[in-house]
Amino acid sequence: MEKPFSPACERNSDPILEVLEEVILPSDRRLLEIGSGTGQHAVYLAPHFPALEWYPTDLSDKLAGMKLWFQEAKIQNIQMPTRLDVARDDFPKLKFDIVFTANTFHIMHWKDCKSLMKLMGKRLRENSRVVIYGPFKYNEEFTSESNAEFDKNLKARDPLSGVRAFEDVNNNMAKNGFEIVADYEMPANNRMLVFNRLKFSP
Ligand SMILES: C[S@@+](CC[C@H](N)C(=O)[O-])C[C@H]1O[C@@H](n2cnc3c(N)ncnc32)[C@H](O)[C@@H]1O
């Protein structure tokens, strides 16, 4: 099997790092990544946060490919990747300070995005953070022509996928106990949304 490769990860890893350097605190110990894909983000980003254990996850069919990256890179603070399908799996039974996910909300069906947001509300404690990278639309409008085109292409492949509305994500996150603390403009018409878990109420 050949190591999978994402050119987009090569381009967006540095801008993502800049934001994570603002969001990750020295006291943070565990980061859970949802939909790690090729594993390139973990390989690039984890060494910048040596006090943090990075937990990559994805659907089963992605795990073998990302293991090739991890075996080659031999990075101390990346854990073995595990299957986490947000439609059916719980998080590993650990306390996570950060959940990071890149380019997943427009791929996962909306009901699965909602399952993930519910799960984060259930499993994250006060002051944990959620960082979501990807394209979003605002007030029913795409932020660029290319994002509108991207949305069309996504829907042609899978009608239940598509660029999500910021307002829907924000409302659902609020419903699950999070407040938005930052919305960064990123290269190539992407955004990076940062949420903070409010006081936990069971
Ligand atoms: C466009 S890729 C992004 C991969 C990587 N995060 C990146 O930025 O290159 C979307 C990822 O979401 C994953 N995914 C799709 N449905 C999922 C689900 N129900 N649960 C977890 N991951 C899912 C896919 O397997 C895929 O790896």
pLDDT at 166: 98
Domain borders along the chain are 7-21+29-197
State the CATH architecture for 7-21+29-197.
3-Layer(aba) Sandwich (3.40)
- Confidence label for 55 from pLDDT (cuts 50, 70 and 90): very high
pLDDT tens sequence across 152-176: 999 999 999 999 999 999 999 999 9
Ligand 1, atom 5, residue with closest C-alpha: 37
Q: Which residue CA neighbors atom 25 of ligand 1 most closely?
A: 59
Write out pLDDT tens, residues 66-125.
999 999 999 999 999 999 999 999 999 999 999 999 999 999 999 999 999 999 999 999
What is the spatial distance between Cα 98 and Cα 28, in angstroms, rounded to a whole number?
8
Q: Could you tell me if 42 and 68 are in contact, meaning their C-beta atoms sit under 8 angstroms apart? A: no
The CA 44 to ligand 1 mean position distance, Å, reads 17
What pLDDT, on a 0 to 100 scale, did the predictor assign at position 200?
A: 65
Instruction: Quickly state the pLDDT bin for 18 (edges 50, 70, 90).
Output: very high
Which of 6, 4, 45 shows the shortest CA–CA distance to 192? 45
For the residues of 89-157, what is the DSSP string, one character each?
Answer: PPPPSS--SEEEEES-TTTS-HHHHHHHHHHHHHH--TT-EEEEEE-EEBTTB-SSHHHHHHHHHHHHH
Instruction: Supply the pLDDT for residue 138.
Output: 98
0.95 surpassed by pTM: yes
pLDDT-derived band of residue 201, with 50, 70 and 90 as boundaries?
A: low
Residue that wins the pLDDT comparison between 62 and 202: 62
Rounded distance between C-alpha atoms, residue 168 and residue 149, angstroms? 20
Residue nearest to atom 21 of ligand 1 (CA): 85
Tell which one of 5, 58, 120, 191 to mutate to probe ligand 1, the residue whose CB is within 8 A of the most ligand atoms: 58
CA 141 to chain centre: 23
Output the CA 36–ligand 1 centroid distance in Å: 6
Pocket-forming residues, ligand 1, beta carbon under 6 Å: 6, 8-9, 34-37, 41, 58-59, 62, 84-87, 102-104, 107-108, 112
Among 120, 87, 112, which Cα is nearest to 164's? 112
Q: What is the average pLDDT score of the chain?
A: 97
